[in-house]
A and B are shown apart, each in its own frame.
Chain A
Amino acid sequence: MVAQDSERALVPVASELAGPRPVPDGGVDVARLLVGAAFGLAVEAQRRSLDAAGAVVGRLGWPLGVLARPAGAVARGSVAVARHHLDLDRWAARGLAQQRRAQEMAVGAVRALIAALVVAVLDQVDLDQVVARVDLDRMLDRVDPNQIAARIDLDAIARRIDLEAIVGRVDLDAVVARIDLPRLTEEVIDEVDLGEIIRESSSTMASETVDALRVQGMRVDGLVSRLVDRVLLRQGQRQLGPLPEELGS
Chain B
Amino acid sequence: MTRAIRYAQARALQGHRAGFASRVVADLVDLGVAWLLGLSALLAAGVVRYLLTGPPLRLPVVPNRLGVVGGAGIAVAYLALCWAATGRSAGKQLAGLRVVDRAGRRLTLWRSFTRAVLYVLFPAGLLWVLASRRNASVQDLVVGTAVVYDWAYHPADEALPTGDGRSPGPARSSKHA
Contact B151 A214 (CB under 8 A): yes
What's the A-B contact tally at a CB cutoff of 8 Å?
Answer: 122
B17 touches A243 (CB 8 A): yes
A228 to B14, CA, bound (A): 22
Question: Taking the nearest CB of chain B, how far is it from the CB of A183, in angstroms?
Answer: 39
Whether A217 pairs with B174 at a CB distance below 8 angstroms is no
Known: A238-B177, A240-B176, A244-B166. A217 touches B134 (CB 8 A): no
Interface residue total, chain A, C-beta cutoff 8 A = 33
Q: Is the CB of B131 within 8 A of A240?
A: no
Chain A binding surface SS class:
helix
Contacting residues, chain A, for B96 (C-beta < 8 A):
210-211, 214, 217
Q: How far, in angstroms, from A217 to B22 measured CA to CA in the complex?
A: 5
Q: A218 and B149: CB pair below 8 A?
A: yes
CB distance from A145 to the nearest CB of B (A): 58
Given the complex, which residues of A lie within 8 Å of B75, measured CB to CB?
A: none
Complex contact A240–B3 (CB within 8 A): no
Given known A211-B10, A217-B25, A218-B10, contact A242–B20 (CB-CB < 8 A)? no
In the complex the two chains form, what is the Cα distance from A121 to B9 in whole Å? 102
Q: Is there contact, CB below 8 Å, between B103 and A218?
A: no
Q: Which of A218-246 contact B (CB under 8 A)?
A: 218-226, 228-229, 232, 234, 236-246
Known A-B contacts A238-B133, A238-B135, A243-B104; the reply to A224 vs B20 at CB < 8 A is: yes
Chain B nearest CB: distance from A167 CB in Å? 53
Query: Is B165 at the interface (CB under 8 A from chain A)?
Result: yes
Min CB–CB distance B164 → chain A (angstroms): 9
Tell me the residues in window 1-22 of chain B with beta carbons closer than 8 Å to chain A beta carbons. Answer: 3, 5-7, 9-10, 13-22
Which residues from 190 to 218 on chain A have a C-beta closer than 8 Å to any C-beta of chain B? Answer: 207-208, 210-211, 213-215, 217-218
- Say yes or no: A217 contacts B95, CB within 8 Å: yes
A130 at interface by CB-CB < 8 Å: no
Give the interface size bracket for B toward A.
35 or more
Docked complex Cα distance between A219 and B21 (Å): 9
Contact B131 A232 (CB under 8 A): yes
Cβ contact of B21, chosen from A210, A220, A236, cutoff 8 A: A220
State whether A240 and B17 are in contact (beta carbons under 8 Å apart), knowing that A222-B175, A226-B177, A228-B131 are contacts in the complex. Answer: yes
User: Quick one: given A243-B104, A244-B104, A247-B103, are A237 and B173 in contact (CB under 8 Å)?
Assistant: yes
| A228 / chain B contacts, CB cutoff of 8 Å | 130-131
Most chain B CB inside 10 Å of its own CB: which residue of A211, A214, A223, A236: A214
- The 0/1 profile, CB within 8 Å of A marked 1, for residues 144-171 of chain B is 0010110100000000110101101000
Tell me which residues across on chain B come within 8 A of A214, comparing CB atoms. 10, 22, 95-96, 149, 151
Check if B100 is an interface residue, CB within 8 A of chain A.
yes
Q: Counting CB contacts under 8 A, is B58 at the interface?
A: no
Which of B9, B21, B131, B168 has a CB less than 8 Å from the CB of A241? B168
New A-B pairs, 20, CB < 8 Å, besides A211-B151, A215-B9, A221-B21? A210-B96, A214-B10, A217-B18, A218-B10, A218-B13, A220-B19, A221-B18, A225-B19, A225-B20, A225-B130, A226-B176, A237-B173, A238-B134, A239-B134, A242-B15, A243-B102, A243-B146, A244-B103, A244-B166, A247-B102
Question: Which 8 residue pairs are nearest across A and B when measured between Cβ atoms?
Answer: A221-B19, A237-B177, A242-B15, A242-B165, A241-B16, A220-B21, A217-B22, A214-B96
6 interchain pairs, CB-CB under 8 A: A217-B21, A221-B135, A225-B20, A238-B135, A243-B103, A244-B15
